[in-house]
A and B are shown apart, each in its own frame.
Chain A
Amino acid sequence: MKIFFEYLGLLHIKEIKNKSFLDVEPGSTAADFMTKLQIRKEHQKFISVFINDEEKSRQTILKENDRVKLFLPTGGG
């Protein structure tokens, strides 16, 4: 199934275009999706997951056509 994926922050995701449609296995959670993207473990704990404009837990199961946004804040203030 396809989802729309966007990320903000320095995620270092290889070969994935930001703001694009991606294929994911049906039944995948947001956490499974992050693992599939090979996001570093040390980054994963700081990432917030937004699905269809709502913040969700990483255990949320993704659905067809979901708009998934991952946000990793960068330091400084």
Chain B
Amino acid sequence: MKKISYEQLTARNAPQLKSKLEKAVIGIAGCGGLGSNAAIALSRIGIGKLILVDFDVVEPTNLNRQQYFINDIGKRKVDALEEKLKMINPFLQIEKHYEKLNGINIKFIFKEVHIIVEAFDNVSEKAMLVKAFAGNLFKGKYLVTASGLAGYSSANTIKTKKLSTNIFVCGDNKTDFMTEGVMAPRVMITAGHQANKVVEIIDKLL
């Protein structure tokens, strides 16, 4: 593989972000459609460290929206995603957890993160993560969650909204995959919103 420098990788970034992105630690809760796309965006801009969490393996039905290839089928998502991220940004530190997040392990796995990207597909897991922010457990940390990215209605309905001082939600807050299906365009747009909100927070926080 050809060698590049960190300076070359980040040469087109906003100059004021340079040292901030390198210091940032971001948790990716779920490495499916949202998580794989957000992680790739963050990897490209030179984020310091990603903590990837997913209990699943790549399946053929994932390929319509998730950043995996046919030869990834059967691999753990955290492993397949790590390969891609390292091919883009060899300076990225990656910590992988092949397990299901719950109310107990979440505080240990995400202990050092500045921001968590919620990228589950399941309503109960999404709710679990948002509720985990209700007490002091994640004081000082931020959550960028997603809700409403299904179907193919106007992309302009996907927004980033503030839920609280440290929680933001990206999506249209309406469309549901059970009735409308879930496909690459709106998933990637929503993941882009999440990654961009992460950058905005990093700029203010670090």
Interface residues of A (CB under 8 A from B): 8-10, 45-48, 50, 53-57, 69, 71-77
A/B interface sample: 7 pairs, CB < 8 A: A48-B127, A48-B134, A50-B167, A71-B169, A75-B121, A77-B35, A77-B119
Given A48-B127, A55-B130: A77 in contact with B163 (beta carbons within 8 A): no
Given A50-B164, A55-B164: A74 in contact with B147 (beta carbons within 8 A): yes
The residues of B that contact A77 with a CB separation of less than 8 Å are: 30, 32-35, 119-122, 126, 146, 149, 177, 182, 187
Point out the residue from B30, B122, B145, B165 that lies within 8 Å of A75, measured CB to CB.
B122
Given A50-B163, A55-B167: A10 in contact with B176 (beta carbons within 8 A): yes
Closest to B162 in A: A53
Given A10-B174, A50-B163, A53-B164: A76 in contact with B130 (beta carbons within 8 A): no
> Does residue B4 face the partner (Cβ distance < 8 Å to A)?
no
A48-B131, A75-B121, A77-B35 known; 6 new pairs, CB 8 Å cut-off, are A9-B147, A9-B148, A48-B163, A74-B148, A74-B175, A74-B176
Q: How far is the CA of A77 from the CA of B187 in the complex (A)?
A: 7
Closest to B30 in A: A77
Q: How far is the CA of A55 from the CA of B168 in the complex (A)?
A: 12
Residue contact A47 to B34, C-beta cutoff 8 Å: no
B78 to A: closest C-beta gap in Å: 16
Point out the residue from B32, B161, B165, B173 that lies within 8 Å of A74, measured CB to CB.
B173
> Does residue B91 face the partner (Cβ distance < 8 Å to A)?
no
Residue contact A75 to B164, C-beta cutoff 8 Å: no
The residues of B that contact A74 with a CB separation of less than 8 Å are: 123, 147-148, 150, 171, 173-177
Residue interface bits B82-124, CB-to-A below 8 A is 1, else 0: 0000000000000000000000000000000000000111111
